[in-house]
Structure 1
Amino acid sequence: MQLAGLYIHENIMCREERVYYILALFAWDNFVKILEVSTIAKDQTQVNEKIRAKELRLIGQDGEQIGVKSKSEALEMAERVGLDVVLMAPNAKPPVARIMDYGKYKFEQQKKEKEMKKKQKTINLKEIRLSPTIEEHDFQTKLKNGRKFLEKGDKCKVSIRFRGRAITHKEIGQRVLEKFAEECKDIATIGQRPKMDGRQMFIMLNPINEK
């Protein structure tokens, strides 16, 4: 008896052993299939023999239009110049493929992705909390922290919470926020002017140079 490329000698195995052996081989076969599916999912690019289409609209290595060729013809042409056939537009009719160095192409694509990730900047929103009657020393400390955030390229929300009767003098809090924005005008622009939100007033500052 043969299963999954292995021979089972029935004469030296009892019935129970054969059952467990078959189940083990079945499980292994399915495990291998899962691994194969997982590998395909990671890189679904169809290259050379992996191309399923029988006919292809072929593009040469220099970008010239070769025309519709059978898969075997395309592979022969690529082999003659030591290159690969890479499927570029699988949904086209017929699918479009190009003769190229797939290893080099894949390397360049990965390089582009890395460069794009480097350029992408996650802008964080930082918050500085003040009070309407903040002392100058505390104000300067908060200002220093706010400037650090802005210099790093983060947005900064500067807020003031009015407690008790202080809310009847909103203009005091507004002056504090405007002073903060004025002290940061060399590195930030005002994204949102002083605005009330419940018992809180806030201003939004955006960095001029996002690093």
Structure 2
Amino acid sequence: MKYPAFYTVHIAIQHANVYSRMQRRRTGALHRGATSQQRALRRRTIPPFTDKRAIKSFIRTNEKIRAREIRVIDENGEQLGIMAPFDALKIARERSLDLVEISPNAAPPVCRIQDYGKYLYEKDKSDRAARKKQKVIVIKEVKFSVTVDEHDYQTKKNQAVRFLGEGDKVKASLRFRGRQMAHRDLGYKIVNRLIMDIGAAGIVEFMPRMEGTTLHAIIAPTKKPEPAPVKKTAEAAIEESPAAEA
């Protein structure tokens, strides 16, 4: 029996409505009893996890080296020439060592025959030593007001000088409130006076300037000159020589 066209469309709409109701019930069962944040997290698609540090520190070794030709250095630092990774890996296996790619961006890549565990240890040790030598620059703020009295000004000036002596930068800030914006020249006088009073203890990195309702300047500590090596005079060298002692 052939049904009319309008009846077929009606049946299709009913099936679609039933399917949508089933989907709503299923979604409600998943979200029932959950907070709005939990529902949002369930609906959100989570991107695949990628550890950028692992990608950055990835080092190819042994069979993972994909270049056709590589420049090989042995464990003693001698050049073995350019060869295929298979041949270099064979030499490394004969010496019970690993083939480590130390310069992948070179043409051809540079690989070294060495102990991979020892290489990682030395690399980590050098990275930690480099981090220790890095100096963290701290900016410490000293706040003023247009109505600051002499005692408070001297106290904050001494704080700024102490911060600079410790090797930190100083941010001198002065905030204008309400009608004080009409007297910005007073704020400039206070900050410029601070710069003059600090003198040789600091160098102005940013001159006083306005940002919104705040006037600020940044002062950096002056670099301490390194002590020059003491040159021994000829007489001192003669006195320290073993012949003079004899």
Shorter-normalised TM range: 0.5 to 0.7
Deviation track 1:125-157 (CA, whole Å, cap 9, x = no partner) reads: 322211223111111222233233323333222
Q: Distance between the aligned counterparts of 1:78 and 1:102, measured in 2?
A: 11
Match of 1:206 among 217, 220, 226: 220
Q: Distance between the aligned counterparts of 1:80 and 1:51, measured in 2?
A: 18
Instruction: Report the count of equivalent residues.
Output: 174
Seen in structure 2, the aligned counterparts of structure 1 residues 81 and 188 have a Cα distance that, compared at 3 Å, is same
Aligned to 1:123: 137
Seen in structure 2, the aligned counterparts of structure 1 residues 166 and 52 have a Cα distance that, compared at 3 Å, is closer
Structure 1 residue 91, shift from structure 2 partner: 6.5
Aligned to 1:22: none
Given that 1:187 and 1:209 are in contact with CA atoms closer than 8 Å, whether structure 2 keeps it comes out as no
Q: Distance between the aligned counterparts of 2:218 and 2:68, measured in 1?
A: 60
Aligned to 1:138: 152
Flag structure 2 segments of 5+ consecutive residues without an equivalent. 1-53, 225-246
Match of 2:188 among 171, 174, 178: 174
- Superposed counterparts of 1:145-156, under 5 Å: 145-156=159-170
Say which structure, 1 or 2, has more relative contact order (CA 8 Å, 6+ apart): 1
Structure 1 residue 51, shift from structure 2 partner: 4.5
Higher strand share: 1
- Superposed counterparts of 1:177-192, under 5 Å: 177-192=191-206
Q: Distance between the aligned counterparts of 2:154 and 2:200, measured in 1?
A: 16
If you compute each CA radius of gyration, which structure gives the higher value, 1 or 2?
2
Given that 1:191 and 1:204 are in contact with CA atoms closer than 8 Å, whether structure 2 keeps it comes out as yes
Q: Distance between the aligned counterparts of 1:187 and 1:205, measured in 2?
A: 9
The TM-score, its normalising length taken from structure 2, stands at 0.56
Q: Distance between the aligned counterparts of 1:93 and 1:160, measured in 2?
A: 57
Seen in structure 2, the aligned counterparts of structure 1 residues 141 and 94 have a Cα distance that, compared at 3 Å, is closer
Deviation track 1:168-205 (CA, whole Å, cap 9, x = no partner) reads: 33332222112212232232111122223333322221
Seen in structure 2, the aligned counterparts of structure 1 residues 177 and 79 have a Cα distance that, compared at 3 Å, is same
